[in-house]
Amino acid sequence: MEIKVVHQILEWNEDVSDKIKSELKVKKVCLVNIMGSPGAGKTSLITTLIKGLSDKFRIGVIEGDIQGQIDAEKMKLLGVPVVQLNTDGACHIEAMSIENILPEFELDKLDVIFVENIGNLVCPAEFNIGENMRIAILSIPEGDDKVEKYPLMFQTTDMLVLNKYDMIKYFDFDEQRVIKNAKDINPDISVFKISNKTSEGVLEFIDCLSDRITETIN
């Protein structure tokens, strides 16, 4: 399976996000925007989701990176359609770029597309890309002050994944502080404690995500 590399067109238009959402609604495809810092575990989480959801949903992936296609190569090995989006220096993915990428997929043969956004906690939160769901990943080694430092990321997300949870015994990480801060600014946020290494919390997260995808595409 060949990986197509698409370069981001730096033209921002909020209306494009609504247009994408309308198109995918007709096609009954759910777009999931996955955001987090470099090293937070975005690629590993998407890999876990593909393995856990592929028996129920037809999955595609958009891999966002400033350069290269390392993560796209990993997805390719899982047998899912993947398109690499290189932003050439931009710190986020824009809706216009998603619109340009969608024709690379056979949307009639997909139920969900996972978008791995560029790794940081600032810019991606500011740009809607036509997504139905936002998932923010915060790994335990990053520290428990990130919700306070980068509130917009957590204010606009549907799910917060506390990733690499198996490492909490090695770090001074106050999970209750994180959860309280997140719910103070986003009362509807769902919080999950996940370890891709030990599989802790994975089934609960996959079940919840599965239900939300089903609601979106039906």
Q: Considering the chain, what percentage of its residues have pLDDT values greater than 70?
A: 93
pLDDT at 69: 78
* β-bridge pairing 133-139 and 59-65: unpaired
Residues 34-47 have pLDDT tens digits of: 999 999 999 999 99
Question: Within 13 Å of residue 129, how many CA atoms lie on the same side as its CB?
Answer: 30
pLDDT at 151: 97
pLDDT at 1: 58
Residue 114: pLDDT over 70: yes
pLDDT at 5: 61
CATH of the domain at 97: 3.40.50.300
* Structural domain count of the chain: 1
Average pLDDT over residues 146-167: 97
Q: Considering the chain, what percentage of its residues have pLDDT values greater than 90?
A: 78
Residue 9: pLDDT over 60: no
How far CA 133 is from CA of 6, 119, 167, in Å, comes to: 23, 18, 27
Residue 10: pLDDT over 80: no
pTM score of the predicted model: 0.92
pLDDT at 203: 97
Give the torsion sign (CA, 109, 20, 89, 45).
Answer: negative
Q: How confident is the model at residue 174 (pLDDT cuts 50, 70, 90)?
A: very high
Residue 72: pLDDT over 90: no
Runs of H (alpha helix) within 77-165: 95-101, 123-126, 146-149, 151-155
Residue 215: pLDDT over 60: yes
Residue 133: pLDDT over 60: yes
Residue 71: pLDDT over 80: no
- Domain containing residue 197: 4-217
Average pLDDT, the chain: 92
Helix/strand number for the chain, H first, E second = 9, 8
